[in-house]
Structure 1
Amino acid sequence: MVRLSLALILSLLVVTSGCGNTPSESSSDSKSKDSDPVESKGTIGFSALTLTNPFFKVIADNMQEEAAKHGYELIVLSAERDVKKQADHVDEFLVKGVSAIILNPCDSNGIGPAIKKANEKGVPVFTNDIKYDGDEGKVVCHVATDNYQGGKLAGEAMVKLLGDSGGKVAILHFPQAESCQLRVKGFHEIVNAHNDKTKNAKIEVVATLDGGGDRDEGSKVTKDVIESNPDLSAIFAINDPSALGARASLEAAGKADQVTIIAFDGQEIGKQAILEGKILCDPIQFPDQIGKVTIEQIIKYFNGDDVKPEILIPSKLYYKADAEKDPLFNKG
């Protein structure tokens, strides 16, 4: 009996020590060590659009922490905007026998066959930030910012900026992502409504360019658009990295004071740029909430509870005055 008890104790120690570690080092590791151990229940696979963008890293870190609370290990992989690579991630997750899969689709329609494959294996698929926009596969729940509402906020900020004078505007898009499509749609709705009410202060969108959602491509297309539109007044960029790329090109061309940037996201780099006056404002997102809520829905699904097909988290405008009061920059 003594031998049996010791063996049982040792096996339990192995199980509980294994579930406290996640694939990447994060703040959630230290927190889980201080809390009561949770019995390991399995793994969840997450294929991120990219982890070079801090926004998705915040989502991943919060999902790891929340999953650990419920006894699940989150396997995190970065698809680096490559839908084929992301489909391979799904195959890898299925081989590993994950309990659920989470995706930021690299292509809102092209990821359909991979989702269908998971469906056929009986593995539930969830998405966050970027919505699957096809009908080939089935997603249980999508958790994201209310991107349409956020796009409307960006439009309102542009009308506040140019509504009295009018001016030419360029949009740095990332059309492959449904979330960005919604941002641009909301932006256009507000700008078009303004233009319908005025004759002499119209806001003219002279170019909509694929800024790639990153700094390098944002810089490249901005250089092109200011060469073809030397009297450009403002830019709406669908995220902070592309906005900062745009700012770099404006500074290089001596047009930083002429062209005002409105971005989207509210990453720390974006908030810092707003504080420094490099970006006027952002409709900010809450990636920590997106990550936490995604795992909450997965646990509800595992428990047999009803799960809504979509949960949207509102954004809000963030200006320099907000940055000056933000605890992020007032840590002392």
Structure 2
Amino acid sequence: MKLRPLHSLIPAASIALSLLIAGCGSNHTDQGAGPAPSSGQAKSTIGVSLLTSTNPFFNDMGQAIQKEAAANNMQVVITSADYDPAKQNDQVNNFIAQKVSAIILNPADSRSIGTAIEAANKAGIPVFTADIASLSKTAKVVSHIATDNLAGGRLAGEAMVEALGGKGKVAILDNPVTESVMLRTQGFEEVINRNNAKGPGKIEIVIKLPGGGEKDKSFKATEDIMQAHSDINGIFAINDPSALGAVAALEKSNKAGQVKVVGFDGQPEGKQAIKDGKIYADPVQFPEEIGRKTVQTIVKYMAGDQTPAQILIPTQIYKKADALADKSLSAK
């Protein structure tokens, strides 16, 4: 993923004073030109619901949204869903009551988010999704801006094949309620299946457990994995917090280095773990670019220009050689 350092977390006070956009995509996008601005129009306000404020990835995205919005004389209202679909639904309803000009979502649940998006649709407020897409067949999203998660999952699969020499037993720390993770897992499994079709070696995916995309939950899930499959050779974790939780569980059980971990994100802590040999590789994604592109797309829509239904941003594989050359990391 990105080779530049990530920003620090958005301070709580900053979040309280700022307006945040969180995006969610849909396969059923509402394409077309946006409303032409009228003369003397008041400053536009964007309502943002991020998936969480505890993951640096989403804080980086939020900071980029704030900066790009300010550059375009727009206001931003930032909220965090804290992985709670009901809380996110309330946030969208609040945005509707505030009559914001646009809404950005990172859906906490890619299926149930459709109800909230439909409410915004009825209110005539355009919805844009960032990083995570909506899977609703009826809710309309103007544009979805995200990492190319399917291709990123394939890079993760290739890294695992390389790490294991094409054979072994693998577990997946999953989070199947979010569309972005579904795509990562799909891409990973495609590469594993392609490897197995070549023979004679074979990588067997022996278990998938939900880690919730969080370090603590993934720590516990990894302990469960090792209890059920003591001979596990590799773990694919769908983001860096999950990968770091897996590393902590492996260290506790004295299996660090014996089980290859492939993560996803390229956050500073994840990159440092790659440098230290605790994580094998990460497909790196670029949250700041997602945030900027989302606001730029809103600006185009509001100017009456055509906007693409989907914008995908490629990932880059990041391994130990990249980490050793990365001057942003510690020298330990």
TM value normalised by structure 1: 0.87
- Find the residue that maps to 1:65 and give its secondary structure: helix
Q: Which runs of 4+ in 1 moved over 6 A?
A: none
- Report matched runs for 1:210-229 at 5 Å: 210-229=210-229
Give the Å deviation of 1:22: 7.2
Preserved CA contact (<8 Å) 1:58 1:287: yes
In 2, the alpha carbon distance for the partners of 1:310 and 1:120 equals 22
In 1, the alpha carbon distance for the partners of 2:129 and 2:237 equals 23
Preserved CA contact (<8 Å) 1:163 1:203: no
In 2, the alpha carbon distance for the partners of 1:219 and 1:89 equals 30
Preserved CA contact (<8 Å) 2:51 2:108: yes
In 2, the alpha carbon distance for the partners of 1:292 and 1:330 equals 28
Partner in structure 1 of residue 280 of structure 2: 280
The structure that has the greater radius of gyration is 1
Partner in structure 1 of residue 174 of structure 2: 173
In the alignment, residue 81 of structure 1 is paired with which amino acid?
Y
Matched, 1:120 2:125: no
Deviation string, structure 1 residues 92-122 (Cα, Å, up to 9, x no partner): 1111111000000001010111100100110
Preserved CA contact (<8 Å) 2:257 2:278: no
Partner in structure 2 of residue 260 of structure 1: 260
Matched, 1:67 2:105: no
- Find the residue that maps to 1:329 and give its secondary structure: coil
Mark the CA change 1:327 to 1:96 in structure 2 (over 3 Å): closer, same or farther: farther
- Gapped regions of structure 1 (runs ≥ 5): 1-20, 27-38
- Report matched runs for 1:79-90 at 5 Å: 79-90=81-92
Give the Å deviation of 1:163: 2.9
Partner in structure 1 of residue 32 of structure 2: none
Partner in structure 2 of residue 189 of structure 1: 190
Preserved CA contact (<8 Å) 2:65 2:292: yes
- Report matched runs for 1:18-167 at 5 Å: 41-164=43-166, 166-167=167-168
In the alignment, residue 172 of structure 1 is paired with which amino acid?
L
Partner in structure 2 of residue 312 of structure 1: 312
Preserved CA contact (<8 Å) 1:40 1:72: no
- The root-mean-square deviation of aligned C-alpha atoms, in Å, is 1.7
In the alignment, residue 138 of structure 1 is paired with which amino acid?
K
Deviation string, structure 1 residues 196-237 (Cα, Å, up to 9, x no partner): 1102x2001000111110001100010011111111101000
Partner in structure 2 of residue 16 of structure 1: none
Deviation string, structure 1 residues 133-164 (Cα, Å, up to 9, x no partner): 11231000000000000000001111111235
Give the Å deviation of 1:73: 1.1
In 1, the alpha carbon distance for the partners of 2:327 and 2:136 equals 41
- Find the residue that maps to 2:189 and give its secondary structure: helix
In 2, the alpha carbon distance for the partners of 1:55 and 1:63 equals 13
Is the deviation greater in 322-331 or in 73-82?
322-331
In 2, the alpha carbon distance for the partners of 1:220 and 1:23 equals 30
- Gapped regions of structure 2 (runs ≥ 5): 1-12, 19-40
In 2, the alpha carbon distance for the partners of 1:275 and 1:213 equals 22
Give the Å deviation of 1:40: 6.3
Aligned residue pairs: how many?
A: 297
Deviation string, structure 1 residues 44-76 (Cα, Å, up to 9, x no partner): 000001010110000000000000111111110
1 or 2, which has the higher helix percentage?
A: 1
In 1, the alpha carbon distance for the partners of 2:120 and 2:159 equals 42
Q: Percent identity?
A: 51
Partner in structure 2 of residue 269 of structure 1: 269
